[in-house]
Amino acid sequence: MSKTYGHFDDANREYVITDPKTPFPWINYLGNEDFFGLISNTGGGYNFYKDAKFRRITRYRYNSVPMDSVGRYFYIVDGATVWNPGWKPCKTPLDRYECRHGLNYTRITGEKNGVRASVLHFVPLGVKAEIQRLTLTNRSSEKKCLKLFSYAEWCLWNAATDGENFQRNLSTGEVEIERGEWTAIYHKTEYKERRDHYAYYSVNCPVQGYDTDRETFVGLYNDLNEPQAVLAGHSADSLAHGWSPIASHYIELELAPGESRDFIFVLGYAENPQDEKFENHQLPFTNYQLLTSLGERDHHIINKARAQEVIRRFATVEAVEAAFAELNALWDELLSKYHVESSDERMNRMVNIWNQYQCMITFCMSRSASFFESGVGRGMGFRDSNQDLVGFVHQIPSRARQRIIDIASTQFPDGGCYHQYQPLTKRGNNDIGGGFNDDPMWLLFGTTAYIRETGDMSILDEMVPWDNEPGTEVSLLEHLRISFNHVVNNLGPHGLPLIGRADWNDCLNLNCFSNDPNESFQTTGNKTEGSKAESLMIAGLFVFCGRQFCDLLKAKNLPSDTFEAEIEKMCKAVEQFGWDGEWYLRAYDYYGNKVGSHENEEGKIFIESQGWCGMARIGAELGMPEKALDSAAKLLDSEHGMVLNWPAYTTYHIELGEQSTYPAGYKENGGIFCHNNPWVIIAMTEAGRGNDAWTLYKKIAPAWIENQDLHKVEPYVYCQMVAGKEAAKPGEGKNSWLTGTAAWNWLVISQHILGIQPTYEGLRVNPCIPSDLKQYTVTRKWRDAEYVITLLNPNGKQTPDTPVILPYEPGKHEYTITL
């Protein structure tokens, strides 16, 4: 039995970490609207508003030594002992440690020498701030005289320039300090000129001191585990002038035996309209002391009304508890939309808590900010966000609706797409541009899922611009039509879709031909002119999503025959030119040579085309999907899941691009790219193979992880990649949290295994389960109705003979269905 670092607490919907030295920082996300925080099990991480690149509030040092440097730290000085509730950064051994990651909150508790410190972190609904409720309790029999220091390090807003433009940003930092019944440190760098936003860090009491200059607080040659102010036993009341502004409060307190005291810290962000940016010098309360970096020459005192409102609102424990209860009530409500009861505790846990939670996080973050995504590289991905919203749409459909409009607004008039856009501006990202020929199809995927969930056809009439250009608006339905045609208008010599820069596999760069180590595979110019590079993955995607589009048209009584004819043609092209004998080919390269064929020495078979063509059941009469599944099981599968391709490439292939740059067994080169395992699982359910589907589902689902040391990353969420069978350490996970795996496995388990499928006709019950699953009950709130469906499987079947359709009707309905 390998070592464990924590366990699930299902009743509280928490993962409980009991050893701070996890094999990698195990993190959580605070906030699910505009204000976010990433928080590790030792308090590391940072905050941002809407956009992890352009509105970074606190600083983080990625890939640092030691790992996970900088966060929200509290230092407690008790006699000669200095310690932190979350163990880091002092790493003083604790008598007790526990971190509970819950749904958008984290509670870290440490105990040392009879003092317990418990910190609850969360972002209240509708508030642009992280609340930190710190409770200090004296559990000893003696009076305790303690000193408390807080620590947060400001980021100068743009996380990219903050990490590189030191000649400027080491001179610009400015703060204000407000001392009264509460103490707030304001970060106002660049506020006097173009910025209309500021950040603040407050505590709900007067303090004995403060620091706002990092060097003064920490000491230039000290680490965060030995800040010189803490070692000296008092702060230095420093005022930041450039360099690195921070916020630290210093509080002295006494606790009688058994006594507890709460401190409420608020780390927030506020925006002011241009004409209300500055204070008119009528100070709003007495006992007020204001200090600013510029002192008396400062003509630009922040108008703090918006921050003060939040600080006042959360002045009491009661207010914090009420806001925390509201957050928990929201999660009660969100999770009540789909709930399963079965004898399988681990499945219940994935379905009822963690998979749904991760879908919210990927919906909010896309691929922008995690401990593997720096927040500066990527904004919202076109394909990523469409997939994410399919996992989330049942939770808050109105937000999915807005997302669809935002995404579609970045499209080009020919249906092509910006590959990414920035959440702050909602504009397409020119650095990466477009040309990924799978992108348009994902809009069909996202939009049709939204309408099946909500029945809201009105979204199709929304007028949506091209490339955010006012005056270019056409209906969303027209965007869908043009998206469909983007594939039809870009077919290659075999009548299969041209791949463009890449398809879903960003690293299969068939037109890139890069021999310059200084250029990026993702952004460099492509040789598309004269290219014969075609993608079987897009072919399957087109057939699958194209049919979803046709179903929508039919539900709207619109003609769909021309689209159906194109889909039919595509199926024929795949049967004729996309079949390798035992499995679907992956692609044709620039010259028209096969990729993913038994004729190739490496990369003989790929997962994406088996998944997509299998889901779309192309060549079903010829037995193709079943054969492809058998081949995938034989050649791609392993103990930890199916690898992306096999054998992995061991040399660089200029005609394949980035995929062949990864060491064998990692990422897109033979890694278990969790995202595409669910495609195969769905293809299995489409083939009626419930036992196989269940086996593969369990291989990659976090609740079944046995070896936490090997898996390394969080055992409660999916990660993008697990090292494949050809890697040095098969089974080692990387890139946790932000992956389409969350949405896809949600589809797998909720719709394809448990089989509750929203359709235009009604709720279709079409399970494909392991034969030993004898019974389960799903409660599904769908539109204004609630269905309680009990499935009985007395005869050990895997699928029903025919699916049952439950008509849509508002109200509560109970059904028992026997397989």
Q: Which stretch binds ligand GLC (CB under 6 A): 233-241, 376-384, 402-410, 472-480?
A: 376-384
Angle between helices 624-635 and 607-615 (to 10 degrees): 150
- If one asks whether residue 368 binds ligand GLC (CB under 6 A), the answer comes out as no
Residue 748 C-beta: closest distance to ligand GLC, Å:
17
295's torsion region: left (phi>0), alpha (psi -120 to 50) or beta? Answer: left
**Phi and psi at residue 401, in whole multiples of 5°?**
-60, -50
Nearest Cα neighbor of 155 from 199, 195, 192 is 199
- If one asks whether residue 720 binds ligand GLC (CB under 6 A), the answer comes out as yes
Angle at 816 between CA 814 and CA 818, to 5 degrees: 160
Is the CB of 78 or the CB of 384 nearer to ligand GLC? Answer: 384
| Of the residues 101, 383, 547, 780, which one makes contact with ligand GLC according to CB under 6 A | 383
With contact defined as beta carbons under 8 Å apart, do 359 and 395 qualify?
yes
Residue 504 C-beta: closest distance to ligand GLC, Å:
4
- If one asks whether residue 532 binds ligand GLC (CB under 6 A), the answer comes out as no
Residue 647 C-beta: closest distance to ligand GLC, Å:
19
- If one asks whether residue 770 binds ligand GLC (CB under 6 A), the answer comes out as no
| Of the residues 668, 686, 714, 726, which one makes contact with ligand GLC according to CB under 6 A | 668
- Show contacts with ligand GLC in window 724-753 (CB under 6 A): 739
- If one asks whether residue 367 binds ligand GLC (CB under 6 A), the answer comes out as yes
With contact defined as beta carbons under 8 Å apart, do 494 and 539 qualify?
no
Can you tell me whether residue 605 is helix, strand or coil? strand
Mention every residue, 6+ apart, whose C-beta is less than 8 A from residue 397: 450, 453, 454, 456
Sketch the per residue contact string, 633 through 652, with ligand GLC: x for CB under 6 A, - otherwise: --------------------
Residue 668 C-beta: closest distance to ligand GLC, Å:
6
Considering CB under 6 A, how many residues would be counted as binding ligand GLC? 14
| Of the residues 43, 268, 381, 724, which one makes contact with ligand GLC according to CB under 6 A | 381
- If one asks whether residue 586 binds ligand GLC (CB under 6 A), the answer comes out as no
Distance CA 255, CA 145 (A): 7
Is the CB of 188 or the CB of 367 nearer to ligand GLC? Answer: 367
Is the CB of 505 or the CB of 736 nearer to ligand GLC? Answer: 505
| Of the residues 83, 504, 718, 744, which one makes contact with ligand GLC according to CB under 6 A | 504
Q: Please give the DSSP secondary-structure letter assigned to residue 704.
A: G
With contact defined as beta carbons under 8 Å apart, do 48 and 31 qualify?
no
Nearest Cα neighbor of 96 from 114, 119, 80 is 114
Q: Which stretch binds ligand GLC (CB under 6 A): 212-220, 377-385, 401-409, 557-565?
A: 377-385
- Measured CA to CA in angstroms, residue 701 lies from 15, 385, 720, 772 at distances of 15, 21, 12, 19
Is the CB of 355 or the CB of 362 nearer to ligand GLC? Answer: 362
Catalytic-role residue among 51, 388, 506, 692: 506
Q: Is 506 a catalytic residue?
A: yes
- If one asks whether residue 657 binds ligand GLC (CB under 6 A), the answer comes out as no
- If one asks whether residue 609 binds ligand GLC (CB under 6 A), the answer comes out as no
Residue 188 C-beta: closest distance to ligand GLC, Å:
35
| Of the residues 59, 667, 699, 725, which one makes contact with ligand GLC according to CB under 6 A | 667
Q: Which stretch binds ligand GLC (CB under 6 A): 68-76, 331-339, 502-510, 679-687?
A: 502-510
Residue 709 C-beta: closest distance to ligand GLC, Å:
24
- C-beta nearest to ligand GLC: residue: 506
Other Cβ atoms closer than 10 A to 468: 17
Q: Dihedral of CA 314/315/317/322: which sign?
A: negative
Is the CB of 94 or the CB of 432 nearer to ligand GLC? Answer: 432
- Measured CA to CA in angstroms, residue 275 lies from 162, 215, 290, 532 at distances of 27, 35, 22, 57
Distance CA 609, CA 654 (A): 22
| Of the residues 30, 156, 393, 507, which one makes contact with ligand GLC according to CB under 6 A | 507
Mention every residue, 6+ apart, whose C-beta is less than 8 A from residue 189: 154, 156, 157, 172, 173, 174, 195, 245
Is the CB of 196 or the CB of 431 nearer to ligand GLC? Answer: 431
Mention every residue, 6+ apart, whose C-beta is less than 8 A from residue 134: 74, 85, 117, 118, 119, 148, 262, 263, 264, 265
**Phi and psi at residue 442, in whole multiples of 5°?**
-70, -25
Catalytic residues: 506
Q: Which residues sit at the interface with ligand GLC, rule CB under 6 A?
A: 367, 381, 383-384, 504-507, 522, 667-668, 675, 720, 739
